Structure 1
């Protein structure tokens, strides 16, 4: 993804098509240049490029295991609103955060929420399997626009909004604690996908500043790589193991949309962690054949494979919520995992991972 801009067609292009999209045609290049020129005439200085109002961040509670679509909005700093909510007092909080150019209705995020609700039904809401599930919606800040062109999106602006949103999520958690809704950090698990993983880290860092504590667990699902590397880095900070008492990371598109860096106490690499997941290559060929039959226009191969691989992290995590027996092996590399690694140290992958787990782990999914 470009450090300067990504152009998206509002009518046909989805978030799954962003990476690998190339500008073609002089008129489009010229329009992009003029729009950026107009923007930078209006905005002088790095600090003024940061856009987004944290009051536009929303929090939705999904309290009904048998109705996956029912939701209630938790309004920040509204104590009267808290009294009307269907809260499960004393139970775990699962706060799930989407990424760039998406919202809380994004399939990968909805799949995680639905898996938690399904687990509640399966276990009869037994102790340890009952949750307050909250989806954070920051779409107005994850999809910043410039000028008068509704099709122009800046990844850089979304990255600059990460600390804005992360701080609001931290403040939101503090608000719940001040009103006795969350009793302590043991009840809190923050989960973020892509840019949302860095938002989750910022939330943990904010809580450290505000109350001197961090969430018991922060899970990063293929944390975004572009803008967070040491080279050409323009993000202020990214997800770090200091952002939670236990930070686990799932890598599925390393070096593409996802980071190459080890960020957690435990880092998991399903099918080697990418950059391309083998299953995505198979899915692409199937979809390509289907598109030809339907006379559709397939997306570029690179864009499709990167997006598919990136989305495998939340997909695999959702699978783990209902399957506590996904076992990974502690090995040096995926190659050694497939050949000579004796797998003497094992760890449960995903939701049911032991918070004492440390190191790099590999598994096939």
Structure 2
């Protein structure tokens, strides 16, 4: 039996899904997968440290390389915590239309190091409420501004 969240069963958006405690103490049934909902979209902002790395949902969005976010400063844990929580700030800003985040199809790994492996066989999507249910694969997005967010 898979543990479900209070999300709508047809659509799930996960903001930088947690990795360390799930990896250490949880079984695979507690991990987020694309089988958890009809459509699963994932934003990665601290992949490989506090967040899951690699593809998890039907469409995964690797923001600023997916690991460290601009504006997050201090020691490693502070940078990671801030980066992990920035997923909610970016999504909120995109829903409120304060940030226009265009996500471009890229190769299937997150976090991104160096070149992103951009793909031209799929269309870019705009992050926010209107992500198409048909979006599939990995997408990369660059957010140049340092979003003011309370998770520093």
Extract unaligned runs of 5+ from structure 1: 1-161, 170-189, 191-203, 205-214, 285-300
Q: Which residue of 2 aligns with 1:311?
A: 85
Q: Which residue of 1 aligns with 2:150?
A: none
Question: What is the count of residue pairs matched by the alignment?
Answer: 135
Q: Using the alignment, how far apart are the partners of 1:278 and 1:247 within structure 2?
A: 26
Q: Using the alignment, how far apart are the partners of 1:217 and 1:342 within structure 2?
A: 25
> Quick one: structure 1 residues 270 and 264, their matched pair in 2 at CA, closer, same or farther if it must change by over 3 Å?
same
The structure where helix makes up a greater share of residues is 1
Task: Give the TM-score, by structure 2 length.
Answer: 0.76
Extract unaligned runs of 5+ from structure 2: 144-152
Larger radius of gyration: 1
Q: Using the alignment, how far apart are the partners of 1:273 and 1:222 within structure 2?
A: 9
Q: Which residue of 2 aligns with 1:350?
A: 128
**Cα drift, residue 336 of structure 1:** 3.0
**Cα drift, residue 309 of structure 1:** 0.4
Q: Using the alignment, how far apart are the partners of 1:328 and 1:268 within structure 2?
A: 7
Q: In the alignment, is residue 364 of structure 1 matched against residue 124 of structure 2?
A: no
Q: Using the alignment, how far apart are the partners of 2:22 and 2:55 within structure 1?
A: 12
Is the Cα contact below 8 Å between 2:55 and 2:137 reproduced in 1? Answer: no
Q: Which residue of 2 aligns with 1:270?
A: 63
Superposed CA deviations along residues 214-237 of structure 1, whole A, max 9, x for unmatched, are x221011000001434xx553342
Structure with the larger RCO, 1 or 2 (CA within 8 Å, 6+ apart): 2
**Cα drift, residue 260 of structure 1:** 1.4
Q: Which residue of 2 aligns with 1:298?
A: none
SS of the equivalent of 1:250 reads strand
